[in-house]
Amino acid sequence: MNLRNIRYSLLLALVLLVISNGSLIAIEKNNRDRWETPTDAGPDKEVPGYLINLGPTGGRAILESKSFIVKYIFKDSPADGHLQVDDVITGVNGKPFDVAHTFGHHLTRMKEFPEIGYEGPLMDFGNAIEASEGKDGKLTLSVSRKNTPIAMIIQLKALGTFSKTYPFHCKKSALIAKGAMEYLAGSDFIKHEQCHAKCMSGLALLAAGELDKARELAHSWNTLPGPGVWVWPVGYQCIFLSEYYLITKDEAVLKTIQGLATILEGAQVADMNDYKDRTHGNMGNVGHKFRTGGFGHNTKVGGYGTMTITTAVALTAWELAMKCGAKVDQGKVDLGFTYLHKSTTKDGYIGYHTEVGRYSPTARQGLAVVLHKLAEDNETNRAYIKQVAKGLSNAKKYLNDAHADNILAVCWGLLGTNVSGDKKAIRDMMDYNKAWLNMARCYDGSFVSLPGRDMYDKGYYMSSRLHLTAAMALVYSIENPKLKIQGK
């Protein structure tokens, strides 16, 4: 059976499943075995698997079709002494979960099922948190414990409700941002995180005015990497050190900023024709994926081709480095922008290698908006931002579904949306994902990664807390921006 027939058979089976059940149910019930696969680092290593966070209750659970099965409760959290492991939560605030969830619906089928989001228990629970926090903080759970029904009250903080314009002009957003920043300020392992989380945590410290801690991180990261390093750490290091310099004017980092910008110049494909015969492992000839102006994973051009996301990271680093006085070849900058523009459809979708791509696009879209905000303010860039903002509106249901690192998508997707200035995009993205953001928020002010729908997602295992906590600290404080990437 060829690949086309296999895909057709799988699709037919899925359609029959929908018909027979009346709704689309989870096709990957066990979360690809991650319900029982814990992380080995950070504050969540005691948790038995990659579970659904039950918002600020302090509970973690497996998501079933119309229920949650509790599998972990943090000590001294609001749920401690109330919920028990293996409790089945069947409803919240007097309403049963009567819509089957679609978690596990693999995002490569987005085009076949564009309406699929995360409606069901996830959204119902998140919306109930919002309702309860807007009153007295009392969250009522309908629980089945050993087949005995129980109605229990979990006392949350009465933070109020989000404003209609949140995260702008919103007291609750400011309160949550403050809690997230305090969590980061009290974390002593930021410098040991991978580049994504390290950079965003450092940026959040800068935004919070925690300059001593930001300086400590900057000085620990103030050396040039060795040969063969990936674009990601070089780009993120340059982004953080540049924002750090622009706030502190600490000249100790200027030499490193220039060095990082220069390393990135050697990572760019100058002419795709130079790579037309390139092969990569058992993937065969991948020369057609090396596009002029683009960047791949590695700073020594290689791998399986250029990608729009690493290109956007490198360009963002260059734009910030140039604001610090670093010298960058403008011709190379222009090539990178041209590659991004060619990879963007008229509807604002940005593909993985080109404008064609099957993965959730919000990280690429959001970072492209941030990048164009950093660049020259002209008619071309304003039109491009408007174009991509439209794409962010269309991608609102897939915010958490990124390839390899779902937190990357949430981080840049939300930052880019909110700096775009596009009111429709902001409301579409923020309002649809309000419940999800409530579910990701922990009782101690931090945020934790929630499982997405890409089988290759490893965001939780790279940084379960700090990356997303930092991202949300920046998003919820965006009304008073301190950083260039926040639109200052």
Evaluate whether 182 touches 445 at the Cβ level (below 8 Å). Answer: yes
Residues linked to residue 447 through DSSP beta bridges, in sequence order: 441
**pLDDT at residue 101, rounded to an integer:** 85
Cα 429 to Cα 438: distance, rounded to the nearest angstrom? 14
Query: What is the number of alpha carbons within 13 Å of residue 302 lying toward its C-beta?
Result: 8
* DSSP, residue by residue, 16-79: HHHHHHSS---SSTTGGGGGG---SSSTTTTSSSSPEE-GGG-EEEEE-SS-EEEEEE-TTSTT
pLDDT score of 416: 98
Q: Which two tokens stand for residue 68?
A: 């949650």
Identify residue 375 by its one-letter amino acid code.
A
Count of beta carbons in the 10 Å neighbourhood of residue 455: 14
First-residue to last-residue Cα distance in the chain: 56
At 53, phi and psi to the nearest 5?
A: -75, 130
Locate 412 and state its tokens.
Answer: 């840049």
Q: State CA 129 to chain mean position distance.
A: 21
- CA distance linking residue 199 with residue 276, whole number of Å: 35
Query: How is 108-140 classified by DSSP, letter by letter?
Result: GGTTT-TT---TTHHHHHHHHHHHHHTTT-EEE
Give the residue ranges of the chain where pLDDT is below 70.
1-29, 104-114, 358
Q: pLDDT value at position 18?
A: 39
Locate the domains of the chain by residue range.
Answer: 28-155, 171-486
113 vs 23: CA distance, rounded Å: 12
Handedness of CA 435, 439, 442, 446 (dihedral sign): negative
Q: Give the pLDDT of residue 107.
A: 58
Packing angle, helices 362-374 and 406-419, rounded to 10:
40
Give the C-alpha separation, 269 to 293, whole Å.
5
What is the C-alpha to C-alpha distance for residues 298 and 314, in angstroms, rounded to an integer? Answer: 11
What's the CATH fold of domain 28-155? Pdz3 Domain (2.30.42)
**pLDDT score of 3:** 42
Q: pLDDT, tens digit, for every residue of 237-277?
A: 999 999 999 999 999 999 999 999 999 999 999 999 999 99
What is the identity of the amino acid at 388? V
84 and 72 in contact (C-beta within 8 Å)? no
Name the packing angle between helices 406-419 and 195-207 (round to 10°). 40
Write down the pTM of the prediction: 0.93
Q: With DSSP H G I counted as helix, E B as strand and the rest as coil, what are the percentages for the chain, rounded to 5?
A: 50, 10, 40
Q: Is the peptide bond before 167 cis (omega within 30 degrees of 0)?
A: yes
CATH architecture of 171-486: Alpha/alpha barrel (1.50)
3-state class (DSSP) for residue 469: helix
Alpha-carbon separation of residue 466 from 185, 192, 375, 411, 448 (angstroms): 11, 11, 28, 11, 8
DSSP state for residue 19 in the 8-state scheme: H
Residue type, 181: M
Q: What does residue 79 show for φ and ψ, rounded to 5 degrees?
A: -80, -15
Instruction: Report the DSSP beta bridge partners of residue 53.
Output: 60
Q: Residue 357: its pLDDT value, please?
A: 77
Check residue 152 and report its DSSP letter: E
Where helices occur in 266-307 by DSSP H, the ranges are none
pLDDT score at 13: 40
